């Protein structure tokens, strides 16, 4: 049988590769972005209750109405903007499905899509499968700021979509109000759709604001904003998320959504609707993860890595230029095999494997695990 790959350049994801290596060599796995602690017991109880109460069949295609209403209230409370729960919010099987659906629904063969690198690994295959042409701009290390002049030089009437991500995986950088103003200006000038990946919405530190595309009128009217329950409520395995977009974009989004998954996990949606009644469940997350970041940073004070404390997400970058000349993949292999800690090489977030000698650690782990890993890393 002859098959031609539609994704000839795509292999096994670096997260799976590094997690497998961590298992093989018994290393502490700070590679993949998932917590090693349980979701709230309240939330788990609510899921169980929803099942027992009989919420076990297909949910409505756009999502359970009570959950969409809760999300609309939450958005209005946090960002002072209105989103119609019926026509502007769709519940998805994680943010990955929301991102894929948005790209599939809204780009056409030959469209240019602006992608800022380093970037999360699901964007490029989705663009490629849909015949889009990624146009890359790199953030400026070591603080991973955005070069708006370079971005403007890459935009044209061919640009149909701009993908943004804040708080940013893998760097932890946050978009500022000034970045949002720049994007608003360019979006009006070049008239593209914005796909805003905001899965770490509640993980911003030191009192910073999360700058959502929903807060900026010039962006809100042209944005699909993707969120993840898994990332913020410690249940990545439940694969639940949502997409917020104006009615016209949501209509196109749902045309694809209904044939990709039709609808998402019913009992979990009912449980989340009840859980979100208490804003503390998400408002306390910033402190919770900031404390974890600080546990990791304290355990690394005597290490030789160059570290700029991350501003958001549950990822911390370490620069190892003063420790080794190895490329970042070889360095991560050595780290796992010889020092017992698995990390992610940042070059895997660039299409051209650009390597500035950074590795990414996930600190959504127990304090004890973080301290142990810090001790091992300090031996280098």
Ligand X SMILES: Cc1ncc(COP(=O)(O)O)c(C=O)c1O
Q: Which residue is nearest to ligand X (CB)?
A: 94
Closest CA to 213 of 173, 170, 181: 181
Residue 176 is given by DSSP the state: -
Pick the closer one to ligand X by CB: 27 or 93.
93
User: Helix, strand, or coil here: 316?
Assistant: strand
For the CB of residue 240, give the shortest distance to ligand X in the complex, in Å.
Answer: 7
- What is the per-residue burial (b if ≥16 Cβ within 10 Å, else e) of 307-331? bbebbbbbbbbbbbeebeebebbeb
Pick the closer one to ligand X by CB: 14 or 377.
14
For the CB of residue 16, give the shortest distance to ligand X in the complex, in Å.
Answer: 12
Pick the closer one to ligand X by CB: 243 or 376.
243
Q: Verify cis geometry, omega within 30 degrees of 0, for the bond prior to 170.
A: yes
For the CB of residue 101, give the shortest distance to ligand X in the complex, in Å.
Answer: 11
Interior angle at CA 92, CA 224 and CA 115, nearest 5: 40
Pick the closer one to ligand X by CB: 159 or 165.
165
For the CB of residue 15, give the shortest distance to ligand X in the complex, in Å.
Answer: 8
For the CB of residue 304, give the shortest distance to ligand X in the complex, in Å.
Answer: 28
For the CB of residue 350, give the shortest distance to ligand X in the complex, in Å.
Answer: 15
Pick the closer one to ligand X by CB: 31 or 318.
31
- Determine the Cα–Cα distance for residues 36 and 52; give it in Å rounded to an integer: 27
User: Helix, strand, or coil here: 186?
Assistant: helix
Pick the closer one to ligand X by CB: 95 or 113.
95
Alpha carbon distances (Å) from 20 to 104, 234, 339, 340: 31, 21, 16, 13
Contacts with ligand X, residue ranges (CB under 6 A):
33, 94-96, 120, 165, 169, 197, 199, 228, 230-231, 236, 241
- Determine the Cα–Cα distance for residues 323 and 216; give it in Å rounded to an integer: 43
């Amino acid at each position: 049988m002859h098959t031609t790959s539609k994704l000839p350049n795509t292999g096994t994801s670096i997260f799976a590769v590094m997690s497998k290596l961590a298992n093989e060599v018994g290393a502490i796995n700070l590679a993949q972005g998932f917590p090693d602690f349980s979701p709230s017991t309240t939330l788990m109880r609510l899921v169980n209750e929803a099942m027992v109460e009989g919420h076990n069949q297909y949910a409505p295609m756009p999502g359970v109405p009570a959950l969409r209403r809760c999300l609309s209230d939450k958005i209005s409370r946090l960002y002072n903007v209105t989103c119609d729960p019926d026509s502007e919010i769709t519940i998805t099987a994680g943010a990955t499905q929301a991102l894929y659906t948005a790209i599939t629904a809204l780009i056409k063969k030959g469209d240019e899509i602006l992608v800022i690198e380093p970037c999360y690994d699901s964007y490029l295959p989705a663009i490629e499968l849909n015949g889009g042409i990624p146009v890359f701009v790199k953030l400026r290390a070591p603080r991973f700021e955005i070069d708006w002049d370079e971005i403007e030089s890459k935009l044209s009437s061919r640009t149909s979509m701009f993908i943004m991500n804040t708080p940013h995986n893998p760097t932890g950088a946050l978009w500022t109000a000034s970045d949002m103003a720049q994007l608003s200006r360019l979006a009006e000038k070049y008239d593209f759709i914005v796909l805003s990946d905001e899965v770490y919405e509640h993980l911003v530190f030191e009192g910073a604001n999360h700058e959502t595309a929903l807060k900026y009128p010039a962006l809100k009217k042209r944005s699909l904003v993707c969120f993840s329950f898994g990332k913020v409520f410690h249940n990545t395995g439940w694969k639940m998320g949502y997409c917020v977009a104006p009615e016209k974009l949501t209509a196109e989004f749902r045309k694809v959504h209904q044939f990709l998954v039709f609808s998402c996990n019913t009992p979990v949606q009912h449980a989340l609707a009840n859980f979100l009644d208490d804003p503390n469940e998400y408002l306390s997350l910033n402190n919770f993860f900031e404390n974890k970041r600080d546990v990791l940073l304290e355990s690394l004070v005597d290490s030789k890595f160059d570290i700029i404390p991350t501003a958001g997400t549950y990822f911390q970058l370490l620069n190892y230029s003063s420790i080794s000349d190895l490329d970042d993949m070889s360095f991560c292999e050595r780290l796992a095999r010889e020092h017992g800690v698995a990390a992610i090489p940042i070059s895997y977030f660039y299409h051209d494997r650009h390597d500035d000698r950074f590795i990414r650690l996930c600190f959504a782990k127990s304090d004890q695990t973080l301290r142990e890993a810090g001790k091992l890393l300090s031996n280098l």
